[in-house]
Structure 1
Amino acid sequence: MYESFFGFSARPFQLMPDTRFFFKSAGHQRALAYMRYGLQQGQGFIVITGDVGTGKSLLLNALVNEMDTERLVPVRIASSRLDHEQVLKVIAGSLGLEYEGRDKAALLRDIETACQQVTAIGKRVIVLVDEAQNLPTDGLEELRMLSNVEHCGQPILQCFLLGQREFRNTLRAPGLEQLRQRVIAAYHLRPLSESETRQYIQHRLKTVGWRDDPRIEEPVYALITGATLGIPRRINLLMDRLLLNCGLDELHYIDEERTRTVIREVEQEVGSGNLPAEEGEAGEGEGLSDVMAPASGDVRHPVAIRTAADTARLESELAAVKVQLNTLMERNAHLARQLEARLEVARETEVVTEPIISDIDTVDDTASPGLQTEATLDDIADTRRSARRWQAALVVTAVVVLAGAGFAIWVLQARL
């Protein structure tokens, strides 16, 4: 709808994982490098995890686009709670094999034969699992068993597992020790920083022909980072709504006020908190050692797991409050600079005496205007007192919010 208004060739913030818009942040470049390393090794498991919406599917598409189909045969599994037999059927179907009415033993035999034939002609089967957190333990074990099969000293297939944060806990389960030992590379995608969020937005806009229309005010990027926590899918959702809003009102700029309005609208639609309301921490990129570590002790009680999710949500909300507080403090500093500039002008006026300047905070509001400069000082004093009251209210509000959020996080962590 807004594409024609701004002269875009396509929607820049669609939710589908289109590799035209692939943005190589520091984290995504590192994850892609690990996946390329895995392809070069030709064996083992490569694990990439990340919170909802961090770009795992797009990363997988980017890898597939790079693959040399003369040497590699990709088999994609978009896991939606498949059991171990269904996993085998998906692999068999991707290899062009019959799977209806075949039992597990027959499926395994057919898959092994087909993969050996592929290996015999100098190719290699690559199994790519998206949403791997939905795979049951026995499904992962089937993949491990297949990866053990060799032909002429070469593994007949290799596995790439991409899943959400909880998949790391799955891999730490006591029964998956043998699979963990076959993980040769692992990485956890982190959200985008504020500077990366700015680059990400502009990258997607430029891909569809953006030429600073609409113009985006600089403070908008900080607001978007705070509201979305740097999650690409959340950024897409918010930016798409902002562009639609501006297009409907025929505006060629995006400012702070409109951004705040749209953020409130989206949050009201999807629920309170950062948009959309999804669980997960904004963690750093963890590596192989984190995946290799086995689970310590028994699996946590569901209440503890839910409490950990609440802790992550509160930490996310606290981060957003800090971003908003920084924005408000910057505006306060700007106001203070304006007041100082006006005072400097007053000082340079010859009719203003030093006592008047020194007593500016106690100017009698009921006094006669007198000279024009004295009236100007009255206005400055009023403005300054208002600014101080606003600043005091801001500080109190920020302290209350931060203290409350910090206390809630401390209580929840104490319950873990």
Structure 2
Amino acid sequence: MYLYHFGLRELPFTLTPNTEFFFGLPAHQEALATLLTALKTGEGFIKVVGEVGTGKTLICRKLLNDLPNHFVTAYIPNPYMNPEELRFAVATELGVRTTGKPDQQQLTQRIQDKLLQLHQKGHSVVLILDEAQALPEESLEALRLFTNLETERRKLLQVVLFGQPELNARLSGDALRQLRQRITFSYDLRALNADEVFQYISYRLKVAGSQLPELISMPVAKAIHRGSRGIPRLVNVLTHKALILAYGQGRHQLTRNDVRLAIEDTDDATRSRLMIWSWFGVAAVSGCAVLLAWQFGLRGLL
């Protein structure tokens, strides 16, 4: 595609979370620091909430990479499971023997025995669930019961929940108040500001091999910020499309017009008032043209 044209080794704005492109923006660094601090102090439940596309999965993978060696992790990326399925998933992640189809009480006991073995070896166990807002209510309650497993000094299992804002809404209900009270650390991911968008794009281009400092300018980054609302996933989409447009015209610098066209081609992007009025203007002119053609055609028939 445009790799050779811009001197890139790889595509810098794919939607797949890649920790090699982790920039360490203030919001992401704060979230990661909160997680690491909470886990090191042995807290039971930790929660990170953010809108779609704000980088939760990337932070999750960065956390998995950065945890000290004494942590044992169980990672469940798609937790839309009933309590039985959730227990089996946790058991599988921890290497618990599940042959012989044990009932739920037996499986819970085997998980507890495994947690005790790991604790005796000096390990801390962390269960990480992405897209936690998809967990059924009874499965959320099963998670709370998991964290009842403890010694006199600390929890045998810590749980990190990554979810969309709907998770907060679900946890606010009375039925889950016991779980809500167990969440001792939480962090709400925010969108990026315009300066952070500029730094974010520049960093990803540099990691991908770009040596063209003029490729992205602050005015262009501000246009991408407006269109993306500072959501990293949309920043990636708009910048990728803008690069394609610049490449198609043989340019080595992005323009605000590239961004405007990328925004028009992206369903969830935010269009400026000028763009909206421009669209209405085109529609009005087209409508007038159709009406005039119809009138002249009708007169011709008369």
2:45 corresponds to? 45
3-state SS in 2 of match to 1:216 = coil
8 Å contact kept, 1:6–1:214: no
The Cα RMSD (Å) is: 2.1
Distance 1:147 1:19, change over 3 A: same
Following superposition of structure 1 onto structure 2, how do residues 70-109 of structure 1 map, counting pairs within 5 Å? 71-99=70-98, 101-109=101-109
Aligned partner of 1:92: which letter? A
8 Å contact kept, 2:126–2:160: yes
2:287 corresponds to? none
Distance 1:176 1:215, change over 3 A: same
Aligned partner of 1:104: which letter? Q
Following superposition of structure 1 onto structure 2, how do residues 249-264 of structure 1 map, counting pairs within 5 Å? 249-264=249-264
1:18 aligns with 2:30: no
3-state SS in 2 of match to 1:150 = coil
Q: Select the structure with the greater relative contact order (CA < 8 A; seq sep ≥ 6).
A: 2
CA shift, 1:253, in A, is 1.4
Distance 1:155 1:80, change over 3 A: closer
| TM-score, L = length of structure 1 | 0.63
Structure 1 residue ranges without an equivalent (≥5): 276-316, 326-392, 398-416
Structure 2 residue ranges without an equivalent (≥5): 282-302
Instruction: Find the structure with the greater CA-based Rg.
Output: 1
2:194 corresponds to? 194
2:133 corresponds to? 133
Q: Which moved more, 1:245-254 or 1:157-166?
A: 245-254
Deviations 1:185-232 (A, max 9, x none): 111101101111111111111111222266234321121111110100
Aligned-pair identity in percent equals 34
Aligned partner of 1:220: which letter? V
8 Å contact kept, 1:120–1:151: no
8 Å contact kept, 2:7–2:211: no
1:160 corresponds to? 160
Following superposition of structure 1 onto structure 2, how do residues 244-283 of structure 1 map, counting pairs within 5 Å? 244-264=244-264, 266-267=265-266, 270=267, 274-275=268-269
8 Å contact kept, 1:119–1:151: no
| TM-score, L = length of structure 2 | 0.86
Q: How many residues are aligned here?
A: 277
8 Å contact kept, 1:131–1:163: yes
1:239 corresponds to? 239
Structure 1 residue ranges, 4+ long, deviating more than 6 angstroms after superposition: none
8 Å contact kept, 1:219–1:256: yes
2:179 corresponds to? 179
The separation in 2 between residues aligned to 1:30 and 1:184, in whole angstroms, is 16
8 Å contact kept, 2:246–2:252: yes
CA shift, 1:156, in A, is 0.9
CA shift, 1:262, in A, is 2.4
1:337 corresponds to? none
Aligned partner of 2:232: which letter? P
8 Å contact kept, 1:116–1:156: yes
